[in-house]
A and B are shown apart, each in its own frame.
Chain A
Amino acid sequence: MPDRIMRYLLLVPALVIVLGTTLWPLGSAIATSFRNWRLKRSPVPQGWVGWDNYTFAFEEPEFWNALQVTVVFVTLDVVIAVAVSLGLALLLRRAGVLQSLTRAVLILPFAMSPALIGVSFRFMFNGEYGVLAKGIGWLVPPLADVIWLASPGYAMAALILSDVWHWFPYLTLIFLGGLAAVPVETEEAALIDGATPWQTTRLVVLPQIKGVIAVALLLKTIFALKMFDSVQTLTGAGPGITTQTLAHYVYTIGFVHYDMGHASALAILLTAILVGIGIVYTRLVIPPKAVAR
């Protein structure tokens, strides 16, 4: 068999797997989003309903609430997670026993299941015996009487805190990788020229890892947009629906309301948002050279 054909033939298994696990479900979800499929009425999809599931989504106040919550959550979560991780990476970049040990221990939170993290934080924020609630109250006395999961603001703070705790190790390791590629000579030259350590970091080091920061922002944004587990296990989307993200709303429509057509339409909208953000990030934040590298 000619090599030209053989090399395409060898791609077939991988192509089948990719098509079967990504494009087929995506196509199926798009098709379902145009159909009436309410599981409590029928275990199989029913008739075509055009754009009804999409227009219905926009008419629901809960959709706009979820969108608003998601924007607030993603903005705060991404900024805090990236800032904390970057700061920690800058502290840990130098060689040393403590740094090496910290790097090894750092990965543990990321190895935990997000659902388990939500459950654990729920216990830790319990107003009666939660170690985190007590600890924060001890450190910041005005917060001693706060019932963390009882008010919209504090519940959102708890949600962000748990997600930052989960993600900062991974992001820190990404930044450590980027920082390792920064030539030491550039920093030494800046210091010799009289730059302060802060100026060296801000004006010499950070610009050299701009591409890495952009990738980290992109990844964290995508994962924050998909936030579901901790909403389900930590806040239950409450109080009320004040911490209900879009991903959790999609789940609620699909698996509580049993409206698969509507849930599919919402999932497609969420996917469209994710793809849009990906494109904007790639075009605006990551310069073509960085992408090529």
Chain B
Amino acid sequence: MSINRRDFAVGASALGLAGALPRPARAQAAALANLRTGKPFAGQEVKILCVVATQFRAHEARAAAFTDATGIMVKYTYVPFANMREALTAEMVGGTGGFDIVVVMDQWVPSLVNLIDPMDARIATKKIDTARYPKAFLDLGAVDGKQLGLPTRSHVQLLFYRKDLFAKHNLAAPKTWDEVVSISKVLQDKEQIAGIALPYGKSNGQNLMVWYNFLWGRGADVFDAKGMPLFASEAGLRATQDYIDMLRTHKVTPAAAVSFNEQDAVNSMRGGNSAMVAVWWWVRGGLIDPKVSKLTEEQVGFTPLPSFAGGPRSTYINNWIYGIARDSKAKDAAMEFITFVTEPSLERDILLDPKESDVIATQWSNLRDPEVNKRFGGMHTFAAEALQNTKVVPYTADWPQMMEAMETAMSEAASGTRSVSDAFKAAEATVRRIARRG
């Protein structure tokens, strides 16, 4: 159904009235404005298969207004991250139409392409302006030029550091990895605290996530333009050696970092054992949460990830999409909900809700919003800057298999069971074999 004059008038009136309402009500009114009038899907239920995350709980909490306006019921099913890919796979193979909306992480999108219905036509019908998203986020939800979903939970990396210790020793936030090493040595010497917590252990490719920035900083990359591995080039091996040297040569990470996953690295900083951690922005809440952390908001600062002298300060990004399941029997109703829940005003409402602590913003307007930045100390401005120049890893259907080869190599190099060169040359051969087999 296209928007006619009556619908436009209703929407405009709603928006006009909404101007006098408090922020949450205004946000909901704006989010509802782009929905079809007349409740054509009343009585249908939209079932969502979703990873456990506070942001989706916040979406669920706001679904009641959507149900009131449309008559469409919404049911979230949460799955822990560790089991999410298996759950999505089972849904794809089963083909039962058990879920209408699936939440899928970027790396999995190409290999789960048979699970998700392309959304381009629906996005066009809804007149959703995709320019409201950073291109990198959108690209990570597309395969072969088809948009399979809209970004809903997107992350950039930041370097979190102990503001109090830095101030005590007159240290400035590092801009290069060399500065990270020198600052770490000062703090290790004077405070008996490890410099920076980095993950080197195997766990869903988490030991690669900071390493990508080392590659980019040295002018290397994961793949070349033809999709062949480039990470074992001379520049790639140098960057990898730099990353391993933080652990094995400079010893500025905790010794235990050799088996750390991302959570262990975060725990190290919030337990007061490390002065810095390079990790996703959403971790901030946990770093300053008195229930799980020894640190307070005043003690934790953040800055864009460092680079090498003259290199770009990049960020690896992570992106989850809301996609419509190919076997769904309620695709139109599902699109109504996605339209509602991805509305910028709703995202902003969650960002400014004092009861919520999630930092996630997927859209330019919220990344640059003064109130949002005021609440989170300017974090979103950093993110917006990084997003303008960031690279993305070009994921393919073979990516999980290739990633496994690389994370194994990283684990071998970190534990010393193989040299950087041997481990990554072997990984390169494996990746080439995977690419050839297709």
Contact = CB atoms under 8 A, between A and B. Distances in A.
A40 B86 contact: no
Interface string A91-102: 000000000000
Contact of B255 (A41, A147, A155): A147
Contacts of B110: 40
B400 A239 contact: no
B271 A129 contact: yes
A155 B264 CA distance: 17
A112 interface: no
Interface in A145-191: 145, 147-152, 155
A151 B415 CA distance: 6
B417 interface: yes
Interface in B241-274: 254-256, 258-259, 261, 264, 267-268, 271, 273
Contact of B400 (A43, A126, A150, A257): A257
Interface string B263-303: 01001100101000000000000000000000000000000
A147 B93 contact: no
Bin chain A's interface residue count.
20 to 34
A240 B408 contact: yes
A242 interface: yes
Contacts of A152: 415, 417
B192 interface: no
A43 B91 CA distance: 10
A219 to B, nearest CB: 27
A235 B203 CA distance: 9
A3 interface: no
A43 B400 CA distance: 17
Contacts of A239: 201-202, 258-259, 411-412, 414-415, 417
Nearest to B113: A40
B404 interface: yes
Contacts of B273: 128-129
A21 B81 CA distance: 28
A29 interface: no
Contacts of B233: none
Contacts of B256: 126-128, 147, 150
A109 interface: no
Interface residues of B, number: 39
A189 B404 CA distance: 62
A147 B398 contact: no
Contacts of A252: 404
Given A41-B397, A43-B114, A240 B93 contact: no
A145 B258 CA distance: 13
A238 B415 contact: yes
B85 interface: yes
B271 A240 contact: no
A123 to B, nearest CB: 9
Contacts of B397: 40-41, 258
B408 A238 contact: yes
B258 A150 contact: yes
B259 A150 contact: yes
Contact of A256 (B113, B258, B400, B415): B400
A69 interface: no
Contacts of B411: 236, 238-240
A224 interface: no
Contacts of A145: 255
A204 interface: no
Contacts of A39: 89, 92-93, 111, 114
Contacts of A40: 110-111, 113, 397-398
Contacts of B259: 127, 147-150, 155, 238-239
B415 A150 contact: yes
Contact of A258 (B95, B111, B261): B111
Nearest to B430: A62
Contact of A127 (B85, B115, B255, B404): B255
A39 B86 CA distance: 12
B418 interface: yes
Contacts of A129: 267, 271, 273
A255 interface: yes
Interface of A: 39-43, 126-129, 145, 147-152, 155, 235-242, 252, 255-258
Given A40-B110, A128-B264, 7 more contacts: A41-B397, A128-B267, A128-B268, A240-B412, A240-B418, A257-B401, A258-B111
23 contacts: A39-B92, A39-B93, A43-B114, A127-B259, A128-B268, A145-B255, A148-B259, A149-B259, A150-B258, A150-B415, A151-B415, A155-B259, A236-B203, A237-B202, A238-B201, A238-B411, A239-B202, A240-B409, A240-B417, A240-B418, A241-B408, A257-B404, A258-B400
4 closest A-B pairs by beta carbon, nearest first, are A127-B256, A239-B415, A149-B259, A40-B397
